[in-house]
Structure 1
């Protein structure tokens, strides 16, 4: 693997990458960066978990003129959750440059505060297409200085019906600009999009994720849902999965299954379309920071769920088509990890199963009678604390970390993921230290103030 030091980047840039533990490039970074850093248009076929976010963050930051307080780069994403993750990565990548302003413009959050933020200017915008168009229509931002635009997870944006919105956004950008498109697939809809917006683009494909991280797929035939309910807990224990994502096709089934597993002593979360954005945000954070071992979700609700180490995906109901099935199981083989997928089918869904068999070579069909219970405990290492303060109050991850270590005396390794939202924050704490952390945070000041903290 090539190292980042082989790229034509400033000393400060390389030192920052090193401090983030970015030393060796992934395949997609190695293939794309020499071209993207040189200003070339790029089409990159790359799965989630391949390092693509850093692959487009580097050319954005490298091209940025921080003294020019204009919007110079735009990243379009399919979901708010992905937009937040991309913005976070760009902020980390640009830490060596002072006063870089990155704004997210997404639905599901109040519109007026975004207008206020835009009135103060920005360097980089990360957005969903629909909300960005609202701001364009109301003339809330000037896009005439954009030099680089990124379409991230373009296949998902098209699957969600955003083709027209994407084209309308691009019509409002300068003709002379660099365009980078990243997609997990390169089907006809992507080809149509790229032919409309790019000329002489360089095409790069990364197949290493699929080759090096196979997903083991196991299928069980059932007669009724009761058979699934009876073996689910044993399947999770048998696989020794500490992080399990279960897909159901309806919100009603999500809740019914949650009740069944909860009665069996499984600590879990649910996620479906009835959830408000605040509840959705919290659920995704609690699952991603390992505070709960099981999440039951519908496909629509789970869009934007980016967790690198889900060990097991269970298709309680088979997906509506092969594309959705591929997206589902792909959540368990990310960031260099192998994956395991378990699916149920019956006579009514036999046609779906046959389609899956045609598209995937290595699948196993096993018998329900072979499922054995295991002594493995379905549990999580952490439990989360909600802190009633966030970005808008100038709270930073370092403030929370300092309060827990220097202030309360927790060892640093007992502290897990810290997520800072606009008005609240979450910190994952090892269960052995949880009560001490919660009591200490409520009795001591964080950044000079007493802040209410709650168990999650």
Structure 2
């Protein structure tokens, strides 16, 4: 098969790196936007999360990078720390064929002073949240004069979170001569206004596959409020889902549903705005690596989530409007995969439902939920916590190597590995959890003993 990234006339080593990352064919968003963005043109891209947009803006950033010029050349703004971290990881992967590229994240929720120290040591690319980036600008910690590219990722979410003024202040500090790429799931008046103020003769690109019925199968069920929790196992069974995200409107509802689901024999985690950053990170790790196959979340807490392979989204509560509904269902059917989104509503919520139906005319209204007793959702993995991370020079390969050598695990027995500055997580097939826990505590990883705990 021909790797059609070759059509972009990238350097051979860049094509080889893309191929090693299993990027065989461009997504629609990449195919439409890259010919323009690689020419240095400003672009506005309307595309849902999971459409390949991160690669779409990262390829031009990496392609034009001058690694010998040790100065910030690209600034990427994201709505949340989680998304910023994920974007930074993706850019680092795309830079693997270039030596000594420094990608720095500047986000809230983590200590400020270490970021100041990192900025003193320079960087090529900065990925951050508007509030924290603006704070560094206001304290003269960051040099912006060499920036030639600005990316606004999930611009609609940043505006929803009240970042308009912050974004405009940041842009006032940037060089006027630059390329700007704006990515947004929606293109409403606020995005139109923002883009008209900051882009120069932009090319507008729309992904026609944004939340189409062929990709996301949407079903609505009218139910009584007190029936909702007992219907969840049936919905999960009917979809044969392995990963489920349940949305609620209130934090107190998350706690209530979690208790009810646990009593029904399911493992779940909760994501709400009460969690501090470390617990939030751990919750996302446990869900994304399938140790806990169900996550219950509020809309505020779920902003900026970038988790693949969510089979089923359940709107336990109807979203407050079609914009929030679009955001919710976009968590499934990512990167061209199919997904199912189910909404439970009561008679009193029909006005909201009809508003959503105007945006999504292919919604199916179901009367009953079929029984599927043969399927039971179970977690395939367990997660181990290791009290060592990036600051200890710990890498995923070190953990894998120790597990294979000491616990006799096969590579397929080891799932996701997430490495943070001072700690790490590794997913292990649950039948090997006790063996892996014992061996990691008894043996050195990269020449050093670490404490390992189950999660």
Corresponding residue for 1:59?
A: 60
Deviation at 1:264, TM superposition (A): 1.2
What SS does the aligned partner of 2:182 have?
Answer: strand
Match of 1:388 in 2: 387
- Give the 3-state SS of the residue equivalent to 2:141 in structure 1: coil
| Contact residue 390 and residue 424 of structure 1 kept, 8 A | yes
- Secondary structure (helix, strand or coil) at the match of 2:334 reads coil
> Which residues in structure 2 correspond to 1:171-210 (within 5 Å)?
171-208=172-209, 210=211
CA distances 1:361-417 after superposition (whole Å, capped 9, x unpaired): 12222234x442412111121111111111111111111111122343210111111
8 Å CA contact 2:403, 2:409 repeated in 1: yes
Equivalence for 1:286? 286
RMSD (Å) for aligned C-alpha atoms: 1.4
SS at match of 2:335: coil
Q: Could you tell me which residue of structure 1 aligns to residue 378 of structure 2?
A: 379
1:416-427 alignment, distance < 5 Å: 416-427=415-426
Which segment is superposed worse, 137-146 or 180-189?
A: 180-189
Residue of structure 2 equivalent to 1:401: 400
Task: Please give the alpha-carbon distance, in whole angstroms, between the structure 1 residues aligned to 2:29 and 2:347.
Answer: 41
Following superposition, the deviation at residue 197 of structure 1 comes to: 0.7
Which residue of structure 2 lines up, in the alignment, with residue 101 of structure 1?
A: 102
Which residue in the other structure is 1:308 paired with?
Answer: 308
Q: 1:407 to 1:97 in 2, by over 3 A?
A: farther
Equivalences for residues 158-237 of structure 1 within 5 A: 158-208=159-209, 210-211=211-212, 213-224=214-225, 226-237=226-237
Aligned length: 454
Moved over 4 A (4+): none
Give the Å deviation of 1:330: 1.5
1:211 to partner: Cα distance? 4.5
Kept in 2: contact 1:218–1:366 (CA 8 A)? yes
The whole-number CA distance in structure 1 between the counterparts of 2:263 and 2:69 is 59
Is the CA contact (8 Å cut-off) linking 2:215 and 2:336 kept in structure 1? no
Aligned to 2:48: 47
* Aligned counterpart, 1:117: 118
In the alignment, the residues of structure 2 paired with residue 376 and residue 304 of structure 1 have an alpha-carbon distance, to the nearest angstrom, of 31
Report what 1:274 is aligned to.
274
Query: In the TM superposition, what is the alpha-carbon distance from 1:76 to its structure 2 partner?
Result: 0.4
Q: Give structure 1 stretches of 5+ with no counterpart.
A: none
Q: Does 1:440 align with 2:423?
A: no
Give the drift of 1:178.
0.8
Q: 1:2 to 1:412 in 2, by over 3 A?
A: closer
- Cα distance in 2 for partners of 1:165, 1:137 equals 11
Query: Which residue pairs with 2:69 in the alignment?
Result: 68
2:330 corresponds to? 330
Equivalent position of 2:411 in the other structure:
412
Distance 2:53 2:214 in 1: 16
Deviations 1:247-266 (A, max 9, x none): 11111111011111111111
TM-score (norm. length: structure 2) = 0.97
Unaligned runs of 5+ in 2: none
Q: Contact conserved, 1:309 with 1:335, CA < 8 A, in 2?
A: no
- Whether the aligned pair in 2 keeps the contact of 1:382 and 1:416 (CA below 8 Å) is yes
Structure 2 partner of 1:263:
263
Output the CA distance in 1 between the equivalents of 2:405 and 2:42: 48
The 8 Å contact of residues 386 and 427 in structure 1, kept in 2 or not, is answered as yes
What SS class does the counterpart of residue 38 from structure 1 fall into?
coil
User: Distance between the aligned counterparts of 1:181 and 1:103, measured in 2?
Assistant: 20
* Preserved contact between residue 143 and residue 172 of structure 1 (Cα < 8 Å): yes
User: Take 1:341 and 1:32, find their aligned partners in 2: how far apart are those partners?
Assistant: 28
Aligned to 2:141: 140
